[in-house]
Amino acid sequence: QVQLVQSGAELKKPGASMNVSCKASGYTFSGHYIHWVRQAPGRGLEWMGWINPKNGATNYAQTFQGWVTMTRDMSMNTAYMEVTRLKSDDTAVYFCARDLGDGYNYDAFDIWGQGTLVTVSA
């Protein structure tokens, strides 16, 4: 079946970097944009950006420009997100999500990864 499976929980110290992976299966990986969304404790969902697996093009939310990098490995059908210079308020569950559009960016998310809890604490 169509699914996204993310890497496991991480505990990081302030100032460190984190890297979350998102492995796709059950569909053509190059055919759908992958978005990243996070949810901090007690907060709403927050969009971080997208990557087009077909050509590697990215688009980051203004809030995250300069400290988030999204990449993909076509041979592994896997998307990655690196966040640098972590702060305590980056503690959140990070989700990857597949865009509904087939070959284009529709900005609706029909398949989600299970989420990766990242805790930033000294």
Partner 1 sequence: QSVLTQPPSVSGAPGQTVTISCTGSSANIGAGYDVNWYQHLPGTAPKLLIYGNFNRPSGVPDRFSGSKSGSSASLAIAGLQADDEADYSCQSYDGTLSDVVFGGGTKLTVL
In the complex with partner 1, the residue whose CB is nearer, 12 or 100, is 100
- Give the other-Cβ count within 10 Å of 24's Cβ: 25
**Contact window for partner 1 (CB under 8 A) among 13-21, 25-33, 76-84, 94-102:** 94-102
Count the site residues for partner 1 by CB under 8 A: 25
Window 42-81: residues binding partner 1 (CB under 8 A): 43-47, 61-63
Half-sphere exposure of 62 (CA within 13 A, CB side): 0
- The two beta strands, 45-51 and 34-39, are antiparallel
In the stretch 5-34, what mask flags binding to partner 1 with x, by CB under 8 A? ------------------------------
In the complex with partner 1, the residue whose CB is nearer, 1 or 75, is 1
Residue by residue, DSSP assigns 31-85 as: GS-EEEEEE-TT--EEEEEEE-TTT--EEE-GGGTTTEEEEEEGGGTEEEEEE-S
Binding site for partner 1 (CB under 8 A): 35, 37, 39, 43-47, 61-63, 93, 95, 97, 100, 106-110, 112-115, 117
